[in-house]
């Protein structure tokens, strides 16, 4: 019998009739993390240090030895993919399909709201909105208020809404909760600026269909915990142990949520790496990790610095780079693997040369037996890949871009899910998407009639159709068939599998036949894949397997959850690669203005760019190539090697093509001047003005602030002496008048 020892006691676990040593293969820091169950525990875990293994083993330790019920444990991850991986690991360790609450922040909030939504006067069947839903709402707002994409693109509008909810107007949710629908509608109609029209129009559209986006899930849950002591205490008592992964990426609302939840048992276990904080632009703050011991008295800190992922050569380069940051916890990753290939700096004459030489190295590795799928090309932003793609296509080199177009965003998949949502919720968004797909003669004129009827009678579009079936306008349409389909399937869905329901609705609606008529085999294959994913969900979800639970689950999927699985080189942004690892990594376009980004406007921002580069380097396991190129950028400015290349100890890099000394000197002069500008900008006063404020500009004179676009970091100001508004950076010197 195999035994494991922790805190002076010996323990055994059994799985499948065999003894399982929960501490086997763990180093001393990992063992300490697993065995430390009570109180506030902070684990500072460097890249590749095995934190996922430690988290999974700790969960298994709590369940298998201490006898804690899985439902009493909350383990929070930042992506659905990470949550799925964690559940798989824990099942293997415990032999139990019950894995408690292993989920993202948003998924956990869905669970809370589905149980306690009555506290905010919302039904349990509220909608979880995705980008397609939001865009549909925006389309209605734009049409009603005569806005065009010239005023603001949908993408910019979504960003504006997120920033306004999370940063500028964090109590927005009170309007959604406290205001009745008519009052909120009036606030929308009275709005004047484009930002206010879109924002309050969106809040109105959300409330009208009981829809909640990702921000709402967090804020609504916090509101319930603040206002209802009994509900808060119920969840506090239920969750005896709370674990949070990637704590360096936590934002203020998420921090408040975790603080509230651990208020009874006072068991909070966090894992993070301050050197991998790369999401400050969306509200994340590393201070919650760095100051954790100040906020939670008696915190025990465990350092996990042994790296099991990368070769010593790769780690040395990464350590050398990140050491340049001043605002960080001093630490260094320690390698455990044997020496490997040196890190290469490949300097190229042009972007075309860079793309060609990357392709040559990839094909050379492939000729040595390395699969294409083991090679990944990372970059700061998607726009830099055009030349690389052209070369790859010409050479017939297989690749896949992780660009955010995911399985659940494909048109046919959205259509199928909208049918399910229509059965469950009768909501307007789903109705508008599938009412005339396949064609039922419910075109623009009839849909406009339904919208007017619904507005006049305060009902949904689906209810409007039900009431108007006998109207002459709808004779000769297939509207009655649609209503019969929805009502019959809705009445009979209780106790029926979701997979069966999906197959039935796709068949009886004529949707699959419609795709066959079009000859779209690819789209039919996607529907087959959807059916398979539903079956897998039902097999692994346990007792909670209702249609509404499934729809909430699907709505929470992130872009990173998609994976083609074919043998192809992966192309992705560094942000998309966070939390992943790859045998061979090519980090391209390491030029000033690209990485670091030209948008970097403060010393703090530059440190985040350096952390981003650090994350990229530490994704590599066996091989790492860093590349830059000469030439000129889109603005005509010369392309200089990134300061991050110049900051790495030259002895740690093998040169493939050496930049001429004059170019390096010019680059250092540019970097020095840019650093001075950043320091100056950080010292400048940063009073933020609001729409309606009167201001004075040194050249333009007096004017009125019309808009503040935090996403683009600009003001729109109409000056008294200029015929048209001016768009100016938020750093502009203005005087309040």
Average pLDDT for residues 635-651, to the nearest whole number?
91
- Determine the straight-line distance between the first and last CA of the chain, rounded to whole angstroms: 80
In a 13 Å sphere around the CA of 63, the CA atoms on its Cβ side amount to: 27
Of 232, 578, 619, 622, the catalytic one is 619
User: What is the Cα–Cα distance from 256 to 528, expressed in whole angstroms?
Assistant: 42
Judge contact between 85 and 52, C-beta under 8 A: yes
User: What is the Cα–Cα distance from 289 to 475, expressed in whole angstroms?
Assistant: 64
Average pLDDT for residues 199-219, to the nearest whole number?
94
* More confident site: 198 or 711: 198
Decide if pLDDT at 362 tops 60.
Answer: yes
Of 133, 162, 213, 246, the catalytic one is 246
57-90 tens-digit pLDDT: 999 999 888 999 988 999 998 887 788 888 888 8
Choose among 206, 169, 163: nearest CA to 184: 206
The pLDDT value given to residue 384 = 81
Q: Is 630 left (phi over 0), alpha (psi -120 to 50) or beta?
A: beta
Average pLDDT for residues 336-355, to the nearest whole number?
95
Whose tokens are 């249609």? That residue is: 547
The pLDDT value given to residue 634 = 61
Q: Which positions ≥6 away from 661 have C-beta within 8 Å?
A: none
Cis ω before 176 (30° cut-off from 0): no
Confidence bin at 562 (pLDDT 50/70/90): very low
DSSP annotation string for 147-163: --TTT--HHHHHHHHHH
The pLDDT value given to residue 519 = 67
Identify whether 621 is a catalytic site residue: no
510-526: b or e for each residue (b if 16 or more CB lie within 10 Å)? bbbebbeeeeeeebbeb
The 3-state DSSP composition of the chain as helix, strand, coil percent (nearest 5) reads: 50, 15, 35
Identify whether 162 is a catalytic site residue: no
* More confident site: 30 or 383: 30
Identify whether 658 is a catalytic site residue: no
User: What is the Cα–Cα distance from 730 to 695, expressed in whole angstroms?
Assistant: 13
Average pLDDT for residues 213-227, to the nearest whole number?
94
Tokens of 264: 């009874």
The pLDDT value given to residue 691 = 87
Identify whether 731 is a catalytic site residue: no
Judge contact between 172 and 179, C-beta under 8 A: no
Cα radius of gyration rounded to whole Å, the chain: 28
Would you call 714 exposed, middle or buried from its count of C-beta atoms within 10 A (0-12, 13-18, 19+)? Answer: middle
Cis ω before 438 (30° cut-off from 0): yes
Phi (first) and psi of residue 102, to 5 degrees: -110, 105
Tokens of 697: 């500009």
Is residue 573 classed as helix, strand or coil in its secondary structure?
A: strand
What is the model's pTM? 0.74
Judge contact between 83 and 102, C-beta under 8 A: yes
Whose tokens are 């307007």? That residue is: 428
Judge contact between 307 and 273, C-beta under 8 A: no
User: What is the Cα–Cα distance from 596 to 610, expressed in whole angstroms?
Assistant: 7
Strands (E), 305-415: 306-307, 334-335, 343-348, 375-379, 399-401
Decide if pLDDT at 15 tops 60.
Answer: no
Q: Which positions ≥6 away from 27 have C-beta within 8 Å?
A: 50, 304, 306
Whose tokens are 């203020």? That residue is: 252
Confidence bin at 602 (pLDDT 50/70/90): confident
Q: Which positions ≥6 away from 495 have C-beta within 8 Å?
A: none
Q: Give the bridge partners for 728, in sequence order.
A: 715
Whose tokens are 């997120």? That residue is: 162
- The neighbour count for residue 153, using CB atoms within 10 Å, is 12
Confidence bin at 8 (pLDDT 50/70/90): very low
* More confident site: 652 or 676: 652
Of 12, 52, 88, 704, the catalytic one is 52
The pLDDT value given to residue 375 = 97
* More confident site: 544 or 486: 486
Identify whether 439 is a catalytic site residue: no
Which of 49-63, 373-387, 396-410 is predicted least confidently?
Answer: 396-410
Number of alpha helices (DSSP H) and beta strands (DSSP E) in the chain: 30, 26
615-631 tens-digit pLDDT: 999 999 999 999 999 98
Decide if pLDDT at 566 tops 90.
Answer: no
- To the nearest 10 degrees (0 to 180), the angle between helices 194-208 and 181-190 is 160
Of 114, 236, 254, 276, the catalytic one is 276
Judge contact between 640 and 666, C-beta under 8 A: yes
User: What is the Cα–Cα distance from 423 to 427, expressed in whole angstroms?
Assistant: 9
Confidence bin at 20 (pLDDT 50/70/90): low
Average pLDDT for residues 118-134, to the nearest whole number?
88
Of 116, 133, 245, 428, the catalytic one is 245
Decide if pLDDT at 182 tops 80.
Answer: yes
In a 13 Å sphere around the CA of 695, the CA atoms on its Cβ side amount to: 27
462-481 tens-digit pLDDT: 999 999 999 999 988 999 99
Phi (first) and psi of residue 19, to 5 degrees: -70, 140
User: What is the Cα–Cα distance from 74 to 260, expressed in whole angstroms?
Assistant: 13
Instruction: Determine what percent of the chain is predicted with pLDDT higher than 90.
Output: 59
Average pLDDT for residues 599-606, to the nearest whole number?
87
Q: Please state, rounded to an integer, the average pLDDT across all residues of the chain.
A: 87
663-709 tens-digit pLDDT: 999 999 999 988 888 776 544 445 678 888 899 999 999 999 998 87
506-544 tens-digit pLDDT: 999 999 988 887 766 778 877 887 887 787 677 666 555
Is residue 132 classed as helix, strand or coil in its secondary structure?
A: helix
The pLDDT value given to residue 5 = 39
Judge contact between 701 and 719, C-beta under 8 A: yes
Tokens of 547: 């249609």
Judge contact between 628 and 347, C-beta under 8 A: yes
Average pLDDT for residues 560-586, to the nearest whole number?
82
Judge contact between 197 and 113, C-beta under 8 A: no
Of 31, 32, 37, 51, the catalytic one is 51
Identify whether 51 is a catalytic site residue: yes
- The neighbour count for residue 692, using CB atoms within 10 Å, is 10
């Amino acid at each position: 019998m195999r035994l494991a020892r922790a805190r002076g006691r010996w323990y055994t676990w059994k799985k499948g009739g065999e003894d399982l040593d929960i501490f086997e293969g763990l180093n001393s820091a990992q063992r300490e993390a697993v065995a430390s169950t009570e109180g506030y525990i902070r684990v500072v875990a460097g890249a590749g240090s095995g934190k996922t293994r430690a988290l999974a083993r700790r969960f298994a330790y709590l369940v298998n030895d201490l006898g804690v019920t899985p439902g009493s444990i909350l383990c929070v991850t930042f992506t659905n993919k990470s949550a799925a991986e964690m559940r798989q690991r824990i099942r293997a360790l415990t032999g139990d399909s019950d894995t408690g609450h292993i989920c993202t922040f948003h998924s956990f909030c869905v669970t809370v709201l589905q149980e306690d939504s009555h506290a905010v006067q919302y039904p349990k069947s509220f909608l979880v909105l995705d980008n397609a839903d939001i865009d549909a709402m925006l389309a209605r707002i734009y049409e009603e208020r005569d806005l065009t994409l010239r005023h603001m693109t949908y993408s910019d509008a979504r960003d504006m809404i997120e920033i306004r909810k999370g940063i500028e107007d964090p109590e927005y949710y009170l309007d959604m909760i406290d205001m009745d629908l008519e009052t909120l509608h009036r606030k929308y109609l009275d709005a004047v600026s484009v930002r206010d029209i879109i924002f309050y129009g969106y809040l109105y559209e959300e409330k009208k269909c009981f829809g909640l986006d990702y921000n709402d899930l967090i804020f609504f849950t916090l509101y319930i915990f603040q206002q209802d002591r009994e509900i808060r205490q119920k969840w506090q008592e239920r969750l005896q142990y709370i674990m949070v992964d990637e704590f360096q990426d936590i934002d203020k609302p998420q921090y408040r949520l975790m603080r509230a939840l651990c208020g009874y048992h006072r068991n909070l276990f966090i894992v993070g790496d301050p050197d991998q904080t790369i999401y400050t632009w969306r509200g994340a703050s590393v201070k919650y990790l760095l100051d954790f011991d100040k906020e939670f008295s008696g915190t025990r800190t465990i350092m996990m610095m042994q790296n099991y992922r990368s070769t010593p050569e790769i780690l040395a380069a990464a350590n050398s780079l990140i050491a340049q940051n001043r605002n960080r916890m001093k630490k260094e990753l320690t390698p455990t693997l044997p020496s490997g290939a040196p890190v290469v700096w490949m300097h190229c004459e042009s972007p075309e040369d860079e793309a060609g030489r990357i392709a040559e190295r990839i094909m050379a590795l492939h000729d040595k037996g390395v699969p294409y799928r083991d090679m990944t090309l990372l970059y700061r932003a998607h726009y830099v890949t055009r030349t690389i793609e052209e070369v790859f296509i010409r050479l017939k080199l297989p690749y896949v871009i992780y660009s955010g177009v995911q399985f659940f965003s494909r048109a046919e998949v959205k259509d199928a899910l909208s049918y399910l949502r229509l059965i469950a919720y009768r909501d307007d968004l789903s109705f508008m998407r599938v009412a005339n797909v396949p064609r039922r003669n419910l075109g623009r004129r009839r849909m406009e009639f339904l919208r007017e009827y619904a507005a006049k009678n305060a009902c949904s579009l689906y209810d409007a159709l039900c009431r108007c079936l006998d109207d002459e306008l709808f004779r000769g349409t297939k509207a009655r068939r649609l209503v019969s389909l929805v009502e019959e399937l809705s009445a009979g869905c209780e106790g029926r599998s979701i997979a069966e329901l999906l197959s039935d609705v796709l068949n009886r609606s004529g949707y699959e036949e419609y795709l066959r008529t079009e000859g779209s085999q690819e789209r039919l294959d996607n529907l087959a894949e959807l059916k398979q994913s539903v079956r897998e969900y039902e097999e692994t979800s346990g007792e909670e397997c209702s249609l509404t639970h499934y729809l909430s689950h699907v709505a929470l999927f992130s872009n990173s959850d998609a994976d083609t699985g074919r043998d192809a080189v992966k192309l992705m942004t560094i942000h998309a690669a966070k939390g992943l690892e790859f045998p061979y990594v090519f980090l391209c376009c390491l030029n000033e203005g690209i990485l670091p980004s030209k948008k970097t406007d403060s010393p703090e921002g530059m440190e985040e760019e350096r952390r981003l580069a650090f994350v990229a380097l530490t994704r590599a396991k066996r091989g790492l190539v860093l590349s830059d190129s000469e030439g000129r950028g889109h603005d005509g400015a010369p392309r200089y090697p990134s300061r991050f290349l110049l900051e790495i100890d030259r002895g740690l890099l093998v040169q493939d093509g050496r930049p001429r000394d004059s170019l390096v000197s010019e680059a250092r002069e540019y970097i020095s001047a840019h650093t001075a500008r950043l320091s100056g900008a950080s010292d400048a006063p940063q009073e933020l003005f609001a729409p309606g404020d009167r201001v004075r500009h040194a050249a333009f004179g007096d004017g009125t602030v019309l808009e503040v676009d935090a996403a683009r970091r600009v003001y729109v100001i109409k000056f008294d002496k200029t015929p048209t508004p001016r768009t100016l950076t938020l750093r502009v010197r203005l005087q309040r008048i």
